[in-house]
Structure 1
Amino acid sequence: MVTPARRRSGGRSAVRRTAVGLATTLLATCACTGPAAGEDAHRAPEARTGTPAGRAAPQKTATAAATCADTVYAGMTTAQRVGQLFMGGVAANAPSATDLRTLRTYHVGSVMLTGRSSAGTTATRKIVDNIRKQADTVGGRQVGMIVSTDQEGGQVQVLNGPGFSVIPAALTQGTWSTTTLRSRATTWAKQLKAAGLDLDLAPVADVVPAGLGTRNAPIGRYHREFGYTPAVVTSHSGAFAAGFAAAGVMTTFKHFPGLGQVIGNTDTTANVVDSVTTTSSASLTPFRSGIAAGAPFVMISSAKYTKIDSAHLAVFSPTVINKLLRTQFGFKGVVISDDIGQAVAVRAYTPAQRAVGFLSAGGDMILTVKPSTVPAMAQAVQSRMATDAAFRAKVAASVHRVLTAKANAGRLSCG
């Protein structure tokens, strides 16, 4: 999802740290990645101890979260498990009753607020609280939803109005010191938390070369990049994520393995190809750094990367997801797709093929801003599970990652 006009975009998991620990790691990472001259990112980050007023309590340990996920998983029906693999889009200002009914019927476990709202934090919180009421119950306890949105800044800011800051574009954020960005990102995250959200589908970790600039339709055209070099994007995407972690809000590094080298926008264009990026390109550094620091979610691009896997779009590529992201980069969290509900890049595939293809490639959470595609997708996943043991195992692993992310976010209770 990379079209600001539609307020969508490109992406917590089985993280191994508390929220405070994750923030500290991210802070340390972005402090040593070589930011642009004149920045103060080389300062040692302030020590963070205790649980200051207004900050979420530390998250559960990895073991406790995983154990809780196991308990909830064991009590679920197959349909409920499959539902955890989806994030469905609903209008941020006034969710459609039809869309909500579809998500409820298919046990969809996560929601993305889409479009543009100027309602403010208080009104948004009421909307989110109402959405949460339709979450599934297992063993007498509600399996809480992950609620997300695109709150990058600039032309990609879904939630506005009283209580929400006007966030500048990432290209402007990239001119600030990392200390300043961390501080402001914490403020923005607290605003999302006040509105009831758990996850921001940001930061953009794509590196757009200066020579390409605004000719890069998905990122550069809207100034969504933090800068034009891997060093600046690494330091500032890390600072953004660290600020959010400090406030107890999850983030998503996107759009792996990067949309900086393309011309077309996968939301509105078919056959978007990157013929430059390799598995060792410097443009992957922001992702590698974010993952090393504990990134909870990574979003997969829907472009094709001919020097990595010329046979598949990244979103359907085992080479991109399993070999590069999971194995080479060591990512243990939730792999979320870019929108595969209405993006033009995937229109050659049926909704059923999109869902099964993404999960087969190693993905965990299917993002569709078009809830009407969920029935066909969910049914296809269940059908494949019935006949394919290897696919069933992949689904089980993905559901566990999603449930563990929920437990870490405080959305899963096991008593």
Structure 2
Amino acid sequence: MKRSLAALTVAVLLAPTACSTEESPQAGPAVASSAPTQSSAPSQSSRPARSSAPPETGGDAGDCVTRTLDGLDLQKRVGQLLMIGVAVNAPSGAGDTLRRYHVGGAFLRGRSTHTAAKLKSDVARLQRTAALPMLVAVDQEGGSVQTLKGPDFPRLPSAYRLGEGSRTALRDTTRGSARRLAGIGVNLNLAPVADTVPANVGEANPPIGAFRRQFGSDPARVAADIRTVVPASQDAGVLTTLKHFPGLGRVRVNTDTSRGATDNTATATDPYLGPFEAGIQAGTAAVMISSARYPRLDPDAIAAFSQPIITGLLRDRLGFDGLIISDDLGAARAVTGVPPAQRATRFIGAGGDMVLTIVPADAAPMAGALIAKSESDQSFRSRVDDAARRVLRTKEKAGLLRCS
């Protein structure tokens, strides 16, 4: 997500409501906004548009994803659209919530120095609470954003430091880390950061630059690094998540802790989209949407609630056909002006697939709102079905679906 969960997790432990998705740096929310706009996608450039939306209910009736989806009622389909934060050192504590709401994913929040054997046992126990195997995600970027720091998980260099080195070192570091994650049952890393921070901004960019989470200040160089990281991780068994689309490198506010994060420069032809395009072309399983505001792409909504950004730009223009996940929509300051139920329906309605919240108590209002709107709005029900299919396709890619 955006910044590290450290700061967020501390806030979660000290306050009655939780915080955002990473720990000390940022994972990715920003400003509260209005409901998703239905306006058309951003203006097209000379670059040809590529349509990627799959059929809402299509697919071979015999394929595993379709067969699994057909076996899920509305309540279970909605559950697949939720990823809930669970304490990395005690994940089974959220087992009842995961079970009751048929949750599709668990995010291991916090910091842990446990051994690989202990973590593997905990993750396996967590998976046993789910009727369908879950996407189990973690923030293991490196530098200040590294959830697992025990004896079996060496400290990883920051992306900035890796970006200054060789591609061979970047590939080998990524591959080694992914193998360790896969070994304990983690199947989705909320990384890499595809944001580019301009050299003249640097540490004045609170969510990314201040923690050196970016690979560099040149989007072409960052794109090359992303092309290396995505296959290195996914070939080692851990799916990747590009974040934070369409970019947090130019904002001057951290969306986890403040409102008002805005990028007044980003357009549909922004060179800073290059690293995201590179990751999409490299086959990334997922893309995370930021909660900042991008007025030149959508003047009416933050990215997480923006149909022009999620559907028009990411899906239709850039051709991304995988899982679209939100940055934290639970404790991030950027969205606290919107009730949790509406956060979920706005994100899914704008074209997102999986709502991430580090606040377990959000599962009830979010699931309830998604079900209620699906029952009263057929077009929204179709959107839910499409999103559930994408979640299941991602699980199939992770080797989680089993069809006889």
Separation in 2, partners of 1:362, 1:66: 26
**Residue aligning to 1:179:** 168
More off after superposition, 336-345 vs 179-188: 179-188
Separation in 2, partners of 1:341, 1:120: 29
Q: Please tell me whether the aligned partners of residues 275 and 306 of structure 1 are also in contact (alpha carbons under 8 angstroms).
A: yes
2:8 paired with 1:3: no
- Amino acid of the structure 2 residue aligned with 1:77: D
TM-score by length of 2: 0.86
Q: Please tell me whether the aligned partners of residues 65 and 404 of structure 1 are also in contact (alpha carbons under 8 angstroms).
A: no
Identity, in percent, stands at 44
2:84 paired with 1:88: yes
**Residue aligning to 2:250:** 261
Structure 2, gaps ≥5 residues long = 10-20, 29-58
Separation in 1, partners of 2:143, 2:154: 11
- 1:274 partner SS: coil
**Residue aligning to 2:228:** 239
2:71 paired with 1:75: yes
Q: Please tell me whether the aligned partners of residues 92 and 122 of structure 2 are also in contact (alpha carbons under 8 angstroms).
A: no
- Amino acid of the structure 1 residue aligned with 2:127: R
Match of 2:115 among 120, 123, 136: 120
**Residue aligning to 1:43:** none
Matches within 5 A, 1:292-371: 292-371=281-360
- 1:273 partner SS: coil
What's the CA shift string for 1:253-292, capped at 9, x where partnerless?
A: 0000000010101100112111111111100000011112
Separation in 2, partners of 1:351, 1:184: 38
- 2:396 partner SS: helix
**In structure 2, do the counterparts of structure 1 residues 176 and 64 end up closer, same or farther at CA, with 3 Å as the change threshold?**
farther
- 1:382 partner SS: helix
2:165 paired with 1:170: no
Runs (4+) off by over 4 Å: 63-66
**Residue aligning to 2:187:** 198
RMSD over aligned Cα atoms: 1.5
Separation in 2, partners of 1:230, 1:151: 22
Structure 1, gaps ≥5 residues long = 12-62, 137-142
**In structure 2, do the counterparts of structure 1 residues 64 and 223 end up closer, same or farther at CA, with 3 Å as the change threshold?**
farther
**Residue aligning to 1:51:** none
Match of 1:101 among 96, 103, 106: 96
Q: CA deviation at 1:65?
A: 11
Separation in 2, partners of 1:215, 1:65: 52
Q: CA deviation at 1:235?
A: 1.0
- Amino acid of the structure 2 residue aligned with 1:2: K
- Amino acid of the structure 1 residue aligned with 2:63: T
Q: CA deviation at 1:109?
A: 1.3
What's the CA shift string for 1:323-355, capped at 9, x where partnerless?
A: 000000000000000000110000110001100
**Residue aligning to 2:239:** 250
Separation in 1, partners of 2:330, 2:227: 29
**Residue aligning to 1:219:** 208
Number of corresponding residues = 357
**In structure 2, do the counterparts of structure 1 residues 101 and 403 end up closer, same or farther at CA, with 3 Å as the change threshold?**
same
**Residue aligning to 2:49:** none
